[in-house]
Amino acid sequence: MSGLVCAGAAQFASIEIWGHPVPIAAVVFSTLLVNLRNLLMSASLVPKTGSFTVLQRMLGFYALSDENWALSERRAASRPLTPAYFLTMGGVLYTNWVFWTTLGAVAGAFLGDPRRIGADFAFTALFIGLIAGFWKGKSTAGAVVSSAVASALAFIVLGPPWHVLVGAAAGILTAYATSRADTA
Amino acid sequence: MTLDIPTLLAIAGMALVTYATRIGGLFFAEKLELSGRARAAFNEIPAAVLVAVIAPMALATGPAETVAALLTALVARKLPLIATIVIGVAAVVLLRGLLG
Examine the pLDDT at B93 and tell me if it is beyond 60. Answer: yes
Q: Which position has the higher pLDDT, A22 or B72? A: B72
Across the range B83-87, mean pLDDT stands at 92
Across the range B54-79, mean pLDDT stands at 89
pLDDT digits (tens, 9 = 90+) for A130-139: 788 778 888 8
Q: Out of A27, A148, A183, whose CB is closest to B14?
A: A27
Backbone angles phi, psi at B42, to 5 degrees: -60, -40
ipTM over 0.85: no
Do B65 and A121 touch, CB atoms closer than 8 A?
A: yes
Do A70 and A134 touch, CB atoms closer than 8 A?
A: yes
- The secondary structure of residue A146, as a DSSP letter, is H
Q: Which position has the higher pLDDT, A23 or A41? A: A41
Torsion over CA: A142, A145, A151, A153 (sign): negative
pLDDT at B80: 86
- The secondary structure of residue A81, as a DSSP letter, is P
Do B68 and B49 touch, CB atoms closer than 8 A?
A: no
- What gap in Å lies between CA B49 and CA A134, rounded to an integer? 12
Residue A68 neighbours by CB under 8 Å, 6+ apart:
A86, A89, A90, A93
- What gap in Å lies between CA A128 and CA B38, rounded to an integer? 25
pLDDT at B32: 63
Do B92 and B85 touch, CB atoms closer than 8 A?
A: no
Q: Which of B69, B45, B90, B91 is nearest to A127 (CA)?
A: B69
Residues of A in contact with B72 (CB under 8 A): 124-125, 128-129
- The secondary structure of residue A113, as a DSSP letter, is -
Query: End-to-end distance of chain A based on CA atoms, in angstroms?
Result: 48
Across the range B5-17, mean pLDDT stands at 71
Express as a percent the part of chain A with pLDDT over 70. 44
Contact A175 B40 (CB under 8 A): yes
Angle at A136 between CA A133 and CA A137, to 5 degrees: 120
pLDDT at A134: 75
A89 to chain B, minimum CA–CA distance in Å?
16
Across the range A65-71, mean pLDDT stands at 72
Q: Out of B18, B25, B56, whose CB is closest to A151?
A: B56
Examine the pLDDT at B73 and tell me if it is beyond 80. Answer: yes
Say if residue A79 is exposed, middle or buried (CB neighbours under 10 Å; 0-12, 13-18, 19+): exposed
Torsion over CA: B98, A113, A107, A16 (sign): negative
Q: Which position has the higher pLDDT, A32 or A144? A: A144
Examine the pLDDT at A93 and tell me if it is beyond 90. Answer: no
Contact B42 A44 (CB under 8 A): yes
Q: Which amino acid does the sequence have at B58?
A: A
pLDDT at B70: 93
Residues of A in contact with B90 (CB under 8 A): 118
